[in-house]
Chains A and B, each alone.
Chain A
Amino acid sequence: MIKNERVIIDGMENVTINIGKITTEEALAEEEWEPMGPTPKPGILSLRNWDHRLLKDFPPFYAPICDMCCLCTYGKCDLTENRKGACGIGIEAQQARMVLIACCIGTAAHAGHANHVLHELIRWHGSDHPIDLGPYIDVEAPIIRTVVGTIPKTLGDLEEILNYVNQQLVHALSSTHTGQEGSFIDFESKALHVSMIDNLAKEVADIAQIAGFDFPKGDPDAALIDFGFGSVDRTKPIIVFIGHYPAVSVATIDYIEERGLSDKIEVCGICCTAIETSRYSASAKVIGPLSMQQFFVRSGIADVLVLDEQCVRTDLLEEAQKTGAPLILTTDKICYNLPDVTSQDPDKVVADLLNGTPGVLISDPHKAAKVITETALKMKPKRDGLNHLPELDEVQKLAEECIKCGWCDRACPNSLPVKDAMIQAKEGDFGGLSNLFSPCMSCGRCESECKKELPIISMILKSAQEIAFGETYTMRAGRGPVLDTEIRKVGAPLVLGEIPGIVALVGCSNFPNGEVEVAKIAEEFARRNYIVVATGCSAMAMAMYRCEDGQTLYEKYPGSFDAGGVVNIGSCVANAHIIGAAIKVAAIFARIPLRGNFEEIADYILNKVGACGVAWGAMSQKAASIGTGTNRWGIPVIVGPHGSKYRRAYISNKELSEWELYDKRAGKVVEGEPAPEHLMYPAETMEEAIVLIAKFCIRPSDNAKGRQIKLSNYVDLHKKYMGTLPPDLHLFVRNERDIPITMKSEVMEYLEEAGWEPRKAIGDPSRLVPEEEV
């Protein structure tokens, strides 16, 4: 078969012979940009040794959330006390299998997004549309270069990469079928593999978006966007986009602009579609992260609700109907049994929606844009004057119905004191309910449990109306990739430790105590001159906070990828650029070839780039694959306490482990150090996480000055939150030159007590022992 100038031989679909291209200059340049490394387009087995090496230092720790398996009709199988399932699987392998399933789901969601957006953009611009990331990025697509071994030049080039993504996903998922893999270590290796594929899919998605929607190309001064319920002008028709896939919001903004309606309509977003939309138009408003979803829908502010894909509440049809706002679905991922009206006359669809059709599905973004805009314009007057939240005296009356059973508290994922708040509200004191607004993530589990069917979320929102509607914050629009020029500046100080680390706040908003903790973590490390980067719901959560001087974090700290910067990289798919920045340190500062060279790059990052991911509100399967993929690249991740429900962490046992590293300079295996100590760690509190972030940024490559800076942060934070010097400090002091000067006497005293002996810093630390020396 000949397809796109390529001969594909039956049964050898992976082998392609290019005709007419091989001699072109472009193809030669492609051949020459770097020699091909050992693992282009790795399969499940290609990087298995690397995974096993990682898992030797950071073995999986399993905490089953369910003692059974019910995946096939042999089950349910009880896996307690060494029992095996009917298929022969034991509890550890079953946990690893469930983790792999979660990582496959996460990867599928990102790959689905990538496939979807790429094909839409090819429809808009053609497959020859160039990928140009601007004058300051030469090493574009670092994940694609490292994993696949190509440099995509056009949207069409990304298709081939997605073919590889889709193929790997199928293989990984298939191994979870009953009676395939039986080893927990190899399930983990597959989870690491498919999660690296997740990272690759995200890079494809965001590069396509930057090229196709002309999103910012790494602009440190990306616009400051108005943020929060309070930023919305409620005198105008209001459209709200929820989800992740920006084609529809972009098409809607274009439609609105083309008709000169820009100052007549409010376009807002929740979750990642909000970030994406603000990357396209600075006048779009960001309502907030996922945790604000139900609050905002209940407020009834939206005249039209538009859903695309990923992390959207599944009951929004019901909720939208309560407020009289029509619901418009725009992708095949969410259909809610609504009619697909894509081929109908848009004017008729608008008329139907105005006449009470609760919702429709329109899969063409441009048609959807017209329906959304016209419906919002005409819906607004119909909805004016409607009141969607109970008045305070009604809140009190509702609270009087409460029978104080306390099941709400017990249903709440964070065990929030809803019952006590109800008891207060009965007496006309709404303080308790109002205090719930910040830690509540509007999940609605309390309402589902309440026998009196009290609308608890609406009662909380009404009681907190001044906080909820009174504030407008700002968020810097997602800037996209880190510039090569920035990497050139920070590469050396990062590897030597003089910039103490990159703190990456990523992932969902299943926070244990509300959004404020993410902001506090960011502030703590920005003040200490770490590079703070953020994406997705965490980037939005950080916006909902004012520093002591009244500024938001994005106003106070620069948006450059540099010491003391607070950088909004973008949405969930833009996470790829954070890993990309670590890869670019290896490529630009250390000049390590990327092409098909995963192991060497990941080894470099693990031992030399002091970065720590923090997914404080990790909730979704996407967060599972984001985190696990980040781990495979050698970056440790701290999750919030809810993250323990992923049922697997990667935890070293520093009392029992031997930390062996290979010193490439000395050519021998040497005593290493627990730096980083763990690879995937659920922390119990924000304060614990803060101390650990400082510790997890320590790397064997730190020079004495860098180690001093990192240790002074670690010691200082440990004293601040734990009251003492760190009890494991001796493990991180190699010799006296590592001790922060201002702390010398107390640290020396401590070290003497701990029986510390000086040791040599490792010249060129690695976890890869050359084969001839094994």
Chain B
Amino acid sequence: MTRAYQCANVPGPHLGKVGTPASVTSAIKRAERPILIVGSELANLNWALTLAKEQNIPIVATAHVAGTIAEMGANPDRVLGAIEITNLLKSPEWSGIRGEGQHDLAIFVDVLYYLEAQMLSALKHFAPHIKTISLTKGHQPNANQSLPNLSKKKLGEFLAEVAEGLAK
């Protein structure tokens, strides 16, 4: 059994799936209004920015990631704290980043692992209308699906496969 990356982070009897590139790709394809939430670990920011652009997915930058994105000559759709965007995602009446309706899929990339675990828990319990994927390093059992525990290199390959799958 795949254990949480921070190994004591066991939430309870119901654990999320360990994703594969194919399952992640298909969940993103199926979603009508996905949202990308990029956090302070910055490990795969480039990948996330490219994905957002190519797939036309709105991107929220948490912490002070907007500063780094600005240095790269880009802008996120919104700047919000991890807890602020999670709070908005919890509200069924929120109309989403682009005013097109509440999102149905939240993809977390590089939010600080244990803070992200808590945000995923909040969504798991209080946002039944939304599915979650974590592509942050290390398995997150509070997400509907998340990565297995991979080396940096293998993680890069996983994400590249997802990008390829989505481009098809």
A: residues with CB less than 8 A from B are 61-68, 78, 80-81, 91-92, 407, 410-411, 413, 415, 449, 512, 641-642, 644-645, 647, 649, 651, 653, 655-656, 681-685, 687-688, 691-692, 720-724, 727
B81 at the interface (CB under 8 A from A): yes
Q: Number of B interface residues, CB 8 Å?
A: 47
B44 at the interface (CB under 8 A from A): no
Q: Which residues of B contact A411 (CB under 8 A)?
A: 6-8
Contact present for A651 and B12 (CB under 8 Å): no
Q: Which residues of B contact A691 (CB under 8 A)?
A: 64
CA distance A411 to B3 in the complex (A): 12
Contact present for B69 and A723 (CB under 8 Å): yes
A684's partner among B82, B87, B149 (CB-CB below 8 A) is B82
Contact present for B88 and A653 (CB under 8 Å): yes
Contact present for A62 and B64 (CB under 8 Å): no
B20 at the interface (CB under 8 A from A): no
Who on chain A is nearest to B11 by CB? A67
A641's partner among B14, B71, B114 (CB-CB below 8 A) is B114
Contact present for A685 and B63 (CB under 8 Å): yes
CA distance A607 to B63 in the complex (A): 27
Known: A410-B6, A411-B7, A641-B112. 7 other contacts (CB 8 A): A65-B121, A68-B12, A653-B91, A688-B40, A688-B62, A722-B66, A722-B67
Task: Give the shortest distance, in Å, between B14 (CB) and chain A (any CB).
Answer: 5
Task: Given A66-B12, A80-B13, verify A723-B66 contact (CB < 8 Å).
Answer: yes
B47 at the interface (CB under 8 A from A): no
8 Å CB interface, B133-153 against A: 138, 149
CA distance A656 to B88 in the complex (A): 9
24 A-B residue pairs with CB within 8 Å: A62-B122, A63-B86, A64-B11, A66-B12, A67-B12, A67-B121, A78-B12, A80-B13, A80-B124, A415-B5, A512-B112, A641-B115, A642-B114, A649-B83, A651-B83, A653-B87, A653-B91, A656-B93, A688-B40, A688-B63, A721-B64, A722-B64, A724-B75, A724-B79
Q: Which residues of B contact A683 (CB under 8 A)?
A: 63, 81
B14's partner among A80, A449, A653, A682 (CB-CB below 8 A) is A80
Contact present for A61 and B87 (CB under 8 Å): yes
Task: Give the shortest distance, in Å, between A250 (CB) and chain B (any CB).
Answer: 39
CA distance A67 to B141 in the complex (A): 12
Who on chain A is nearest to B69 by CB? A723
B: residues with CB less than 8 A from A are 5-8, 11-14, 39-40, 62-64, 66-67, 69-71, 75, 78-79, 81-84, 86-88, 90-91, 93-94, 111-115, 118-119, 121-122, 124-126, 128, 138, 149
CA distance A64 to B7 in the complex (A): 17
CA distance A647 to B114 in the complex (A): 12
B94's partner among A81, A413, A642, A655 (CB-CB below 8 A) is A655
Q: Which residues of A contact B39 (CB under 8 A)?
A: 684
B6's partner among A61, A415, A655, A682 (CB-CB below 8 A) is A415
Contact present for B11 and A722 (CB under 8 Å): no
Contact present for B7 and A407 (CB under 8 Å): yes
Who on chain A is nearest to B12 by CB? A67
Who on chain A is nearest to B115 by CB? A641
Contact present for A63 and B121 (CB under 8 Å): yes
Contact present for B12 and A687 (CB under 8 Å): no
Who on chain B is nearest to A409 by CB? B5
Q: Which residues of B contact A62 (CB under 8 A)?
A: 122, 125-126
Who on chain A is nearest to B122 by CB? A63
CA distance A683 to B40 in the complex (A): 11
Q: Which residues of B contact A512 (CB under 8 A)?
A: 112
Task: Give the shortest distance, in Å, between A750 (CB) and chain B (any CB).
Answer: 14
Contact present for B7 and A410 (CB under 8 Å): yes
CA distance A722 to B63 in the complex (A): 9
Who on chain A is nearest to B91 by CB? A656
CA distance A651 to B127 in the complex (A): 16
CA distance A62 to B124 in the complex (A): 11
Contact present for A722 and B79 (CB under 8 Å): yes
Q: Which residues of B contact A645 (CB under 8 A)?
A: 114, 118
Q: Which of B114, B126, B138 has the most CB of A within 10 A?
A: B114
Task: Give the shortest distance, in Å, between B4 (CB) and chain A (any CB).
Answer: 9
Contact present for A687 and B7 (CB under 8 Å): no
Contact present for B121 and A688 (CB under 8 Å): no
Contact present for A413 and B114 (CB under 8 Å): yes
Task: Give the shortest distance, in Å, between B13 (CB) and chain A (any CB).
Answer: 5
Contact present for A656 and B64 (CB under 8 Å): no
Contact present for B82 and A687 (CB under 8 Å): no
Q: Which residues of B contact A449 (CB under 8 A)?
A: 7
CA distance A644 to B112 in the complex (A): 11
Q: Which residues of A contact B81 (CB under 8 A)?
A: 681, 683-684, 688, 692
